[in-house]
Structure 1
């Protein structure tokens, strides 16, 4: 048998398995896999296209730009949130819902930082906002106050997630210890209130401080009506 006879016959392109059709969902699924495996910096149109065996230009039919991609990634992550709680008061349910949202962001600190400048869009995000507005309405927050308040609540959760996301517990403890040490040697004459309240400033668990902050916002929404024109009188 000759070498030529032993060589496999060329394979026609028509015999190769057809590539799956591109979809928005498929693109985001690949983006999420890259995010979990390699981090957000590696989630690029070129990288996604390579994993899908297509050209980067093809993705722009389904994703407008990188900002749109990031917004859709966050929306997909929100789809993994636990179901909205049904037991307890409206305030308790809202606390649990916002804590769950915070958990998603803390687990993905790079995405959390992006939400500071990029508004998420999509069914999961709108479902979250709709639920928050419903709970605020149930609690007696006027609709006009709730319309602004939902942004305040989500921004507060996002800021907390950005502050704490991605940092090891030991790093957080070290930072607090350093702050406490500096407060201890702060001259009382120059900063009397800091020295007097130093222990209180550092007291409480992260969960306690988070819950208190949400209550401050909720109490403010209940007691601070918007003016007729939307401006302070």
Structure 2
């Protein structure tokens, strides 16, 4: 019955647009970032998506910079903080891998964290939890503060690098990430092996080692190095 048209003499109802709000603007912005990347984001583009004028958006968001901060904090809200069971090393490792998973799921949004200090409610909640974890483990507050900053930067930069590879993959016309990475690493490997051995003895000899591990292994290796460094600074 839902497909039966209304009689022509009845007044046709216009489709009511959703009421404009900061929440709607931010959710629309995150969708654009997910589909096309952060460089495609603009107030005009969001206005087009919402069928309104750019000027109407400024009643809810002051500028593009604030919009990006709000979009970033919305995405960060998806991070599930691990339960505080087990060692602090295990909890920190679980937090880092979960944060990396969320950031890589949103195109190149990690770029927004590289030159900013996130101050949104979700980012503050996560920062408080990790900062408290490190202090509770016995790390002096100054070391805990510096560690929080370095860990956040490590996660964001690694996630952003991964997004760059996905962007290159899309422009290359290859749809399979495994196929793209295999071809990309294969080219690097062949190039290393073609270098003059007398000038680059280690690079040519260990070309297979230099190009063998995948992104997950490299991320976890770096994370383990950070955790080992924090362990060494514990009283």
| TM interval, short-chain normalised | 0.7 to 0.9
The residue aligned with 2:59 is 61
Please report how far the alpha carbon of residue 143 of structure 1 lies from its aligned counterpart in structure 2 after TM superposition: 1.1
Alpha-carbon separation, structure 1, partners of 2:197 and 2:35:
50
Q: CA deviation at 1:224?
A: 5.4
Q: Does 1:215 align with 2:230?
A: no
The normalised TM-score by structure 2 is 0.77
Residues in 1 aligned to 2:139 and 2:208: alpha-carbon distance in whole angstroms: 34
Displacement of 1:201: 2.3
Question: Which has the higher Rg, Structure 1 or Structure 2?
Answer: 1
Match of 1:194?
203
> Residue in 1 aligned with 2:188?
179
RMSD across aligned positions (CA): 3.0
Unaligned ranges ≥5, structure 2: 1-7, 170-176
Gap runs ≥5 in structure 1 = 1-6, 226-233
Decide whether the 8 Å contact of 2:139 with 2:233 is kept in 1: no
Change beyond 3 A, Cα 1:28–1:150: same
Q: Which moved more, 1:116-125 or 1:196-205?
A: 196-205
What TM-score comes out, normalization by structure 1 length? Answer: 0.77
Aligned-pair CA distance for 1:28: 0.8
Equivalent in the alignment of 1:205: 214
Instruction: Report the secondary structure of 2:108's partner residue.
Output: helix
Once the two structures are superposed, residues 34-65 of structure 1 have per-residue CA deviations (whole angstroms, 9 ceiling, x without a partner) of 33445434432123234444432232233221
How many aligned positions are there? 216
Tell me the distance in 1 between the aligned counterparts of 2:15 and 2:9. 18
